[in-house]
Amino acid sequence: MTIQTENEYEDLLGLWSDLEAGLGIILGRPASIQEFENRVWQYDRWMQGLLARDTDIGLYLLFQLTSNSPVGYSASHALVSTVLCHLMAVELKLPQSERDSLVHAAMTMNMAMTALQDELAGQLERPSLAQQEAIRTHATHGVTMLTDIGVRDALWLQTLALHHDESTDRGELRALPAERRLARILRMVDRYAAMISPRKSREGRSATDSARAIISQSVAQNDELGHVLVRVVGLCPPGTYVRLDTQEVAVVVRRSSTPNLPILAIVTNPAGIQLKPPRLHRSAEGSPAIRAALPASAVHDRINHHLILQLGAYAALHP
C-alpha cells in the first residue's frame, strides 16, 4: 500500500481516529447501544481491514495516535490493546475462536471504568480510595455489564474476569486452560499499552523502554510472551522515534526481520534541523545505529508523515 498525498494520509489517519471514537462511544454508554455485541464484531472487522491494507502503516498511525495526547485515554488504550492482541493471536497461531474472544475482551476489558480511566489520565494526584475500589472491582463489574447486555461468549467473559489475576502468569502458556492463556496475553498487552500512553501526571514511556520492561518480566517468569510481543511490533515499533549515534533523530517506518533493526526515516540532522525531505535508512545495513528511543514529546517539529510513509512504501517494494 502507498500513500501518495497528504490528503490520503489524513484520510487514513481519520479512519483510525473514527474507529477510536466509535470505541469511545460504545464503551462509554454500553447499556444504551443496541446490539452491543454486533458493534464489537463490527469494530473488530474494521480494525482487521485497516491492518490488512498494510500492517506497518497501521501500526505507524496507531502509535502516532497513542503517543500524542492523553485525550480519550480509555478508547485509545482499548484500541491499542485490541490491535496488539489480534497480532499476537496471529503470531501464536491461536484458534480463531480464541482470537475472537481475546480481541473482544481486549476491546471491553475496562468498560466498567471508562469514564474513570479518562479522569485518571487527566489528574495529577494519586487515585482516591473510591477510585482505587472502582479499579479493583472493574473486571468483575465489566463481566456483569456484558452479561446484562446479552454477551454470552463464556471465553470472552472469563478472559476479561481474569485479566488482572496474577496467578495466570504461572505455568507453561500452551498448557493452560484457554481462559487463563488468553488472560495472560491480555494482562501483558494491558501493561504495555499503559506504559506507552501519556497521562497528565507523566509522559508515556518510549515503546522501546516499555518492551524491555515487559521482556525482563517475561524472562523472570520463564514466559515467551514478551519476546512474542517484540516479534509482532518490533523493539521500536513503526510510528515511534529514535535518536541515532550521529545525534540525528529518526522515526521508525517499517519493521524488519530483526526486531531491533527497523527501517527508519531520518528527520533531523545532528544539529536538530529538520531534513526536507527525510532520508531513508535501513538500520540493519549498518551506521548510523540506533542509540536511544525517544518519547513523542521529545520531537517538537511538525513531521511530514505522508512523505515518511512514502519512504516506507519504497522500502517495502525494494527490500
Q: Per residue, what are the HEC states of 266-317? A: EEECCCCCEEEEEEEEEHHHCCCCEEEEECHHHCCCCCCHHHHHHHHHHHHH
From edge to edge, which strands make up the β-sheet containing 263-268?
Answer: 274-282, 263-268, 249-254, 241-244, 290-294
pLDDT at 182 over 80: yes
- The string of pLDDT tens digits covering residues 12-70 is 888 999 999 999 999 999 999 999 999 999 999 999 999 998 999 999 999 888 766 54
pLDDT at 211 over 70: no
pLDDT at 222 over 80: no
pLDDT at 219 over 70: no
- pTM of the predicted protein model: 0.91
**Residue 194 confidence (pLDDT):** 81
**Residue 197 confidence (pLDDT):** 65
**Residue 215 confidence (pLDDT):** 65
H-helix or E-strand containing 249?
Answer: strand 249-254
H-helix or E-strand containing 250?
Answer: strand 249-254
**Residue 202 confidence (pLDDT):** 47
CB 282 within 8 A of CB 315: yes
Kindly state the cell numbers that stand for 226: 514478551
Per-domain boundaries in the chain:
6-233, 241-317
**Residue 201 confidence (pLDDT):** 44
State whether the Cα torsion 210-213-215-217 is positive or negative: negative
Cβ atoms within 10 Å of 34's Cβ, excluding its own = 7
Q: Determine the Cα–Cα distance for residues 153 and 151; give it in Å rounded to an integer.
A: 6
The torsion region of residue 60 among left (phi > 0), alpha (psi -120 to 50) and beta comes to alpha
With bands split at pLDDT 50, 70 and 90, how would you rate the model's confidence at 210?
low
**Residue 4 confidence (pLDDT):** 72
- The string of pLDDT tens digits covering residues 255-314 is 998 888 999 999 999 999 999 899 999 999 999 999 988 887 778 778 888 889 988 888
> In this structure, which topology does domain 6-233 adopt according to CATH?
Hypothetical protein af1432 (1.10.3210)
